[in-house]
């Protein structure tokens, strides 16, 4: 797999960021939300640790168990027993990936944070390019898919249409073929965590926060094991959340549609009035009348549905509930021994300190 760094598309003449004096983050937090990922978690942690040791990068892994029903939580705890730089946020139920990512960001302690999935479709090898972009001064370095292995034409086509829609309708430009896999500086993470809306699509939240960004192109591999948890219904629901949480375009379209239908009805009324005055009024046809009634009724229901979607979101926001509840939070043990941990490897299960070199 070949990764190709490239600057993110800019809108306007954005100044080039100032390079950082540090060669790497003092601590890199890797946030990994997981829902029924027992088949992939061990391979993910092994691949991530291998890359981090090669780079000599101090890091912690923040696992978020999003109400898994398999052995995901038990496996997280087993990994934490062996690797003290592992944190676990066990959510009280399944809140969805968007909230799980937020929970991980809330508990990440690094001065740079990476969000990635456990299925290894987000290759850990890109972290070297991410850190290089961070060193160049970028606050956000994201992975942009050049190809998408393991996906059929329908999913690729619908994804392309969604990104094109969001890039034109969203309040902030949404890069195409970009998922959640990215590195963010502490400044960017704090900005994202300050946004607590309940109806959230993290891609839109990341884009709205702004900050100097850089893209890294890569060929997305297939899952190493297991099956995707995203069916078409969930993807459709996420798309609705993304559109309604980032733009008022559907309300504007409903307004324009209402004006268009009203203008068409006025023009049609004028036509029939002139026709009746000049040529008389024959018996009106039932099909025309029924079609007009159904058409106007459909338009009204569509407009009411769009308004209802936004009204429901206003209702949920006014309740001011927390985004999630955590049944248990186990922080990582990274104080003072992170650099040594990279050299020494994992500790023995049940021990409280790293073995002597």
Q: Are residues 336 and 314 in the same domain?
A: no
Q: Are residues 203 and 292 in the same domain?
A: no
Of the candidates 118, 79, 113, 111, the residue with the CA atom closest to the CA atom of residue 97: 118
Total structural domains within the chain = 2
Question: What pLDDT score does 279 carry?
Answer: 66
- For 101, 112, 127, 292, the CA distances from 115, given in Å and listed in that order, are 7, 10, 11, 51
Q: Are residues 273 and 163 in the same domain?
A: no
Question: What pLDDT score does 62 carry?
Answer: 93
* The two structure tokens encoding residue 254: 């409903």
The residue among 319, 335, 352 that closes a domain is 319
Q: Are residues 315 and 254 in the same domain?
A: yes
Q: Which single residue is written with the structure tokens 């219904």?
A: 233
pLDDT along the chain (357 residues), means of 10: 49 64 87 89 90 90 90 90 90 88 90 89 89 89 76 62 62 73 90 84 79 85 58 59 63 70 68 66 60 70 73 73 86 58 40 28
Q: Are residues 313 and 326 in the same domain?
A: no
Q: Are residues 93 and 204 in the same domain?
A: yes
The reply to whether 357 falls in a domain is no
Q: Are residues 127 and 225 in the same domain?
A: yes
The reply to whether 237 falls in a domain is no
Q: Are residues 143 and 197 in the same domain?
A: yes
The reply to whether 27 falls in a domain is yes
The reply to whether 39 falls in a domain is yes
What's the domain range around 15? 4-231+322-344
The reply to whether 169 falls in a domain is yes
The reply to whether 238 falls in a domain is no
Of the candidates 313, 268, 257, the residue with the CA atom closest to the CA atom of residue 291: 268
What's the whole-number average pLDDT of the chain?
A: 74
Q: Are residues 284 and 200 in the same domain?
A: no
Q: Are residues 314 and 332 in the same domain?
A: no
**Cα(342)–Cα(353) distance, integer angstroms:** 13
Question: What pLDDT score does 64 carry?
Answer: 93
Question: What pLDDT score does 343 carry?
Answer: 39
Q: Are residues 24 and 135 in the same domain?
A: yes
Of the candidates 332, 312, 349, 260, the residue with the CA atom closest to the CA atom of residue 58: 332
The reply to whether 242 falls in a domain is no
Of the candidates 264, 235, 257, the residue with the CA atom closest to the CA atom of residue 154: 235
Residue 58 DSSP symbol: -
Q: Are residues 72 and 200 in the same domain?
A: yes
Query: What's 174's domain CATH number?
Result: 3.90.550.10
The reply to whether 241 falls in a domain is no
């Amino acid at each position: 797999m070949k990764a190709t760094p490239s600057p993110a598309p800019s809108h306007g003449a954005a100044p080039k960021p100032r390079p950082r004096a540090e060669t790497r983050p003092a601590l890199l937090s890797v946030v990994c939300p997981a829902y029924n990922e027992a088949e992939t978690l061990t391979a993910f942690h092994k691949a991530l640790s291998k890359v981090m040791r090669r780079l000599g990068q101090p890091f912690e892994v923040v696992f978020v168990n999003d109400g898994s029903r398999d052995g995901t939580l038990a496996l997280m705890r087993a990994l934490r027993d062996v690797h003290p730089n592992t944190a676990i946020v066990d959510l009280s139920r399944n809140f969805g990936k968007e909230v799980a990512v937020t929970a991980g960001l809330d508990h990440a302690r690094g001065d740079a944070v990476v969000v990635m999935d456990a299925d290894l479709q987000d290759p850990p090898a890109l972290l070297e390019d991410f850190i290089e972009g961070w060193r160049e001064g970028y606050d956000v370095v994201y992975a942009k898919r050049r190809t998408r292995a393991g996906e059929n034409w329908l999913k690729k086509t619908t994804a392309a249409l969604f990104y094109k829609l969001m890039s034109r309708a969203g309040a902030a430009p949404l890069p195409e073929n970009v998922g959640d896999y990215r590195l963010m500086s502490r400044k960017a993470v704090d900005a994202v965590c300050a946004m607590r809306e309940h109806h959230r699509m993290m891609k839109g939240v990341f884009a709205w926060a702004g900050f100097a960004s850089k893209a890294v192109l890569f060929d997305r591999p297939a899952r190493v094991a297991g099956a995707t948890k995203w069916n078409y219904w969930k993807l459709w629901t996420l798309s609705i959340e993304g559109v309604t949480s980032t733009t008022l375009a559907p309300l504007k379209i409903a307004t324009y549609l209402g004006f268009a239908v009203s203008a068409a009805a006025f023009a049609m009324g004028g036509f029939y009035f002139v026709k009746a005055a000049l040529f008389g009024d024959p018996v009106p046809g039932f099909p025309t009348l029924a079609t007009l009634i159904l058409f106007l009724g459909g338009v009204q229901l569509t407009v009411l549905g769009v308004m209802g979607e936004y009204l429901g979101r206003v209702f949920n926001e006014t309740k001011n509930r927390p985004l999630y509840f955590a049944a248990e939070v186990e922080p990582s043990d990274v104080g003072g021994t992170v650099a040594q941990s990279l050299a020494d490897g994992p500790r023995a299960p049940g021990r409280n300190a790293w073995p002597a070199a």
